[in-house]
Amino acid sequence: MIQIVGGGAAGCEAAWGLATRGIACRLVTTTLDALYALPAEVWPTSPPAGTLWAALAAEVRDPGGGTRAAVLRRAVKRDLERLPALSVLQSNVVALQREGDRVVGVRTWEGPVLRADATVLAVGTFLAPRLRVGRSQERAGRLGEMAYDELRDDLAAAGARFVRRRLAVAADGVTPAHEVAFDAFDPEGTTPLRWDGRAVPGVRTWPGRSGLWLLGACAEPVDVDVAAAAGRDLAAHLAASGAPA
Ligand SMILES: Cc1cc2nc3c(=O)[nH]c(=O)nc-3n(C[C@H](O)[C@H](O)[C@H](O)COP(=O)(O)OP(=O)(O)OC[C@H]3O[C@@H](n4cnc5c(N)ncnc54)[C@H](O)[C@@H]3O)c2cc1C
């Protein structure tokens, strides 16, 4: 069982890539209605080949009722929930569950420990984030999506090092201009995944910790198409390296 924490572009693609290969996996994310959420203003021209997003491109290009971003969110939820190998759970992860240097699962805000053979952290812009709109500031990783500091604090206590990153978007007619500052794993303390002789963009490991993968914007700066491709590539890598089907 592979567990993915975070249902942004990277986490959703990893879950889809694993589950469509019949590999048992669980996607844990704070808000099921915000799966694959993107600021409308950063919409790229074309999704990467071989992704869930590409599979939904025609449906999303001509959205009917709603914006492309809203149609994509709904379609992703529908298609992930239909996959027998995948369970999708709404919860907030507050800590890694460790046995020595091995990560054996995660602890949720509600209390239960969710065990897994491998854990993928795809928590994006949500490690200790501060979102600023005009003069007001809140603890949120995206507009309207609250976040808490527990997971960052637990990772720091376990020896993780972070760098502070910033992302900003302009007003897009639907949402106001805003900026998010958040912690991301320090590239100096992590290592890119190398597969088939090349580094896979957007996928890193934490030397000395086994059973753990770092994916997407929490691992390194990624545009959304790179985050989606990173999820696709990590799923392919885990499948090729013998993840249990
Ligand atoms: C202000 C802003 C500006 C941006 N500008 C650009 C841009 O210019 N170009 C571009 O291509 N992209 C831009 N993006 C998108 C972004 O940078 C990434 O490209 C993309 O969102 C990365 O996807 P991700 O899956 O790594 O992370 P995210 O999309 O951040 O997804 C992380 C997911 O993890 C979940 N999560 C977080 N913590 C927990 C937890 N403890 N427990 C359970 N679930 C959790 C969250 O709810 C969220 O669903 C911007 C985003 C923001 C917020």
Domain assignment of residue 82, given as a range = 2-124+187-240
Backbone angles phi, psi at 37, to 5 degrees: -70, 135
Between β-strands 140-142 and 145-146, what pairing exists: parallel, antiparallel or unpaired? antiparallel
Residue 167 lies inside a defined structural domain of this protein: no
State in Å: Cα 117 to ligand 1 middle. 25
**Ligand 1 geometric centre to CA of 183 (Å):** 12
Segment 124-152, tens digit of pLDDT: 999 999 999 999 999 999 988 999 999 99
Q: Cα–Cα distance between 52 and 78 in angstroms, integer?
A: 12
pLDDT band at 65 (very low <50, low <70, confident <90, very high): low
Rounded to 10 deg, the angle between the 9-19 and 224-240 helix axes is 30
Structure-block tokens of residue 118: 């491998």
Taking only the tens place, the pLDDT of each residue in 164-181 is 999 999 987 778 999 999
Per-residue pLDDT tens digits for 81-91: 999 999 999 99
**Domain contains 115:** yes
In a domain, 181, yes or no: no
Residue 231 has a pLDDT of: 98
220 falls within a domain: yes
Atom of ligand 1 nearest to the CA of 221: 17
In a domain, 230, yes or no: yes
Instruction: Verify whether ligand 1 is closer than 6 Å to residue 93 (CB atom).
Output: yes
From the CA of 93, how far away is ligand 1's center (Å)?
16
Q: Which atom of ligand 1 is nearest to the CA of 178?
A: 1
Tokens of 25: 């996996």
In a domain, 218, yes or no: yes
pLDDT for res 244: 66
Q: What angle do CA 190, 195, 201 make, to 5 degrees?
A: 55
How far is residue 190's CA from residue 219's CA, in Å, rounded to a whole number? 8
CA–CA distance from 81 to each of 75, 86, 137 (Å)? 10, 7, 34
Helix or strand (DSSP H, E) at 202:
strand 198-205
Q: How much is the pLDDT for 99?
A: 96
Residue 123 alpha carbon to ligand 1 centre in Å: 7
Lowest-pLDDT choice from 63-77, 183-197, 231-245: 63-77
180 falls within a domain: no
pLDDT digits (tens, 9 = 90+) for 7-63: 999 999 999 999 999 999 999 999 999 999 987 777 777 899 999 999 999 888 877
| Neighbour count for residue 220 (Cβ, 10 Å) | 22
Task: Kindly state whether residue 142 falls inside one of the protein's structural domains.
Answer: no
Task: Give pLDDT, residue 173.
Answer: 78
Structural domains counted in the chain: 1
- Residues with Cβ < 8 Å from 59, sequence gap 6 or more? 71, 75
Over residues 187-223, the pLDDT tens digits come to: 999 999 999 899 999 999 999 999 999 999 999 999 9
* CATH number of the domain to which 90 belongs: 3.50.50.60
* Minimal-distance CA residue to ligand 1 atom 1: 168
Confidence band for 245, pLDDT divided at 50, 70 and 90: low
